[in-house]
Amino acid sequence: MKAVEVRELRKSYPRKIPFPLRKVEWVEAVKGITFDVKKGELFGLLGPNGAGKTTTIKMLTTLLEPSGGTARVLGYDVVKEAREVRKRINLVAEGERTLYWRLSAYENLKYFARIYYVPKAEEKERIEELLKLVGLWERRNDLVMGFSRGMKQRLAIAKALINDPEVLFLDEPTLGLDVQSALFVREFVRKLVDEEGKTVILTTHYMAEAEELADRIAIIDHGKLIALDTPEGLKRLVREGDAVEVRVRDFQQAKLEGSPYRLAVIEEDPSSNTLTLRGSVDEEELPKLVEWLVKSGAKVLSVERKEPTLEDVFIKLTGRAIRD
Ligand SMILES: Nc1ncnc2c1ncn2[C@@H]1O[C@H](COP(=O)(O)OP(=O)(O)OP(=O)(O)O)[C@@H](O)[C@H]1O
Ligand SMILES: [Mg+2]
């Protein structure tokens, strides 16, 4: 049995158009996506803002009813057998604010242990184990109010593990965290999969995070799944040696549209009016590209071959950069 089976899943949101038109327009956030997640896999949903990642996660965790298609988690249908699904999963939502700031870390977990019907005999041990796992045991009696963002996120993850879920969903688990906290979360999540045998599905718009962490990655853009493979497999979509980074000055970004090159701006420095462009360009094309840039009024500061990254894959598939 698969951990997750998604078939042609869709979601449209109504959007009210006010007076004088006064009608409802439907916005398709997820446009029929299909994928499987294996048990014991760390699966990444990668895509830019508004791609449909959160919407997909909400449907898989029974918080949002699909407009079409089906999804099963551990064999149970997320609509018809939502209760069975909920017993076996948990979620750390985007920008999670469900912790009680006026309670201590320990009291929070105790509260959620009761909500999830953790057997009384196991409660104490489970809470202690979780607080130690996320490195908050020493701070267990401190109010969450005084916690840093990283500590709150660690506690949110401990909270999500309180019912010992088989499948854990994490929506942007490192968003807004400092470097050190983000690193802790990534290592922790990897360990959950490798050592505890959990299945984890996480969303991110950090390329490097998906690349480093996930066993397989589904790239979502405008509600559609545009690629699915291991990080290595995805990177093979860009030929070795084709990834190019070009720094230009005085170049108008708008000229990229309708250009014969699939390049995207990955960095801007307005103070020096320079842009860093990235894309895959083979040996024969490269001189032509430089010529085209110069003709378009740019001063070419540098041209460099780079190791292909997921950013290059995304640019090749969409002509745009994800942007962190
Ligand atoms: N409650 C809602 N009502 C109407 N439209 C919505 C609602 N939630 C999301 N959308 C729209 O659906 C699309 C997908 O949004 P979603 O939040 O799933 O994207 P995302 O990939 O999670 O983006 P982000 O990286 O910003 O978190 C967007 O166009 C968004 O504006
Ligand atoms: Mg989101």
Same domain membership, residue 263 and residue 131: no
Residue with tokens 């050592």: 195
Which amino acid does the sequence have at 216? R
Same domain membership, residue 33 and residue 173: yes
Question: CATH number for the domain including 109?
Answer: 3.40.50.300
- The tally of domains found in the chain comes to 2
Domain assignment of residue 161, yes or no: yes
Same domain membership, residue 172 and residue 57: yes
Please identify, among 219, 235, 251, the residue that sits at the C-terminal boundary of a domain.
235
pLDDT for 36-93, tens place per residue? 999 999 999 999 999 999 999 999 999 999 999 999 999 999 999 999 999 999 999 9
Same domain membership, residue 111 and residue 74: yes
The pLDDT assigned to 324 comes to: 52
pLDDT over 60 at 27, yes or no? yes
279 in Cβ contact with 262 (< 8 Å)? yes
Please identify, among 188, 208, 235, the residue that sits at the C-terminal boundary of a domain.
235
Domain assignment of residue 248, given as a range: 243-307
Same domain membership, residue 58 and residue 24: yes
Domain assignment of residue 21, yes or no: yes
Ligand nearest the Cα atom of residue 60? 1
Q: pLDDT band for position 258 (50/70/90)? A: confident
pLDDT for 262-320, tens place per residue? 899 999 999 999 999 999 998 889 999 999 999 999 999 999 999 999 999 999 998 88
Domain assignment of residue 313, yes or no: no
Tell me, in angstroms, the distance from the centre of ligand 2 to residue 99's CA: 19
Q: Which residue has the higher pLDDT, 5 or 321?
A: 5
Atom number, ligand 1, closest to the C-alpha of residue 94: 27
The pTM of the full predicted model, rounded to 2 decimals, is 0.92
Among protein residues, the one whose CA lies closest to atom 11 of ligand 1 = 29
pLDDT for 200-216, tens place per residue? 999 998 888 999 999 99
Question: Whole-angstrom Cα distance, residue 138 to residue 150?
Answer: 15
Same domain membership, residue 181 and residue 92: yes
The pLDDT assigned to 151 comes to: 94
Mutate to test the pocket of ligand 1, among 9, 17, 55 (most ligand atoms within 8 A of CB): 55
Domain assignment of residue 215, yes or no: yes
Same domain membership, residue 266 and residue 138: no
Same domain membership, residue 257 and residue 142: no
Question: CATH number for the domain including 271?
Answer: 3.30.70
Same domain membership, residue 285 and residue 193: no
Ligand 1 pocket member 95 (CB < 6 A): no
- Express as a percent the part of the chain with pLDDT over 90: 83
Domain assignment of residue 316, yes or no: no
Same domain membership, residue 163 and residue 200: yes
> In whole angstroms, how far apart are CA 269 and each of 1, 236, 250, 255, 304?
50, 30, 11, 17, 18
Among protein residues, the one whose CA lies closest to atom 31 of ligand 1 = 50
Q: Which residue has the higher pLDDT, 119 or 21?
A: 119
